Homo-oligomer: A and B are copies of this chain.
Amino acid sequence: MIFRQFFDQVSSTYTYLLASRAGGEALLIDPVKENTAQYLQLLEQLNLKLVIAVDTHTHADHVTALGALREATTCATLMGEQSRAECVSARFHDGERLRLDGLVLQALYTPGHTDESYSLVMNDRVFTGDVLLIRGTGRTDFQNGNPQDSWDSIVHKLFRLPDETLVYPAHDYRGWTTSSIGEEKAWNPRLQVKTAAEYAAIMNQLNLPDPKMMDVAVPANLRCGNPIAQA
């Protein structure tokens, strides 16, 4: 398998490239528009055909590359069925399997950071978007985020994956590149409580400023990152 993690230094976003083999089909998770040329470069060098670009949710801190990648490669651009991004070419639902040659990712509806957030499970790893981070969790105070949903998604869905499952989030701000479900159960400081209410109390006290890019990124991302609306 080909597996590549990219780090965008401006927004601290992780993007993931997956393919079963050089010369085969590829999938990108949470690509950043400014890095589109880099993804296309690596796809060409590895002789990969991009067939799917997926956003785990509508990002508020960077502009998605979904539209740019679709224009460049004619790939499918996917988000979950709850997404309000009219531009995506298809929507997946909870439990649906995304297939490309040799690889299968299962969509897991994990709202909380937003109400349209999904995780993607593939064998020994899970791409958690902004719902579960490394020793943190995604904020729940905008885009219909909700601490109760976040708790349910993490505790009752993600934490039912095997402990050794590798966690690949959409962000990390310290330079940690991965974790595991077992580690986050044991060491995620926000999750060392017993009830959703205690977790909500933590999340509701964060008082974070809005992301710098929010007013630009969210409207742009509802158009797949394109400057003008498209069907």
Interface residues in A14-63 (C-beta closer than 8 Å to B): 35, 38, 42, 45-46
Contacts of A45 in B (CB 8 A): 183, 186-187
**A174 at the B interface (CB under 8 A):** yes
> Number of copies of this chain in the oligomer?
2
Q: Considering the chains assembled together, what is the distance between the CA atoms of A17 and B61 in angstroms?
A: 30
- How far apart sit A39 and B9, CA to CA, in the bound complex (Å)? 21
**What 13 new A-B contacts, CB under 8 Å, besides A38-B174, A45-B183?**
A4-B176, A4-B177, A5-B177, A5-B178, A6-B176, A7-B7, A7-B175, A7-B177, A9-B175, A35-B175, A38-B176, A45-B186, A46-B183
Q: Which A positions have Cβ atoms within 8 angstroms of B?
A: 4-9, 35, 38, 42, 45-46, 174-178, 183, 186-187
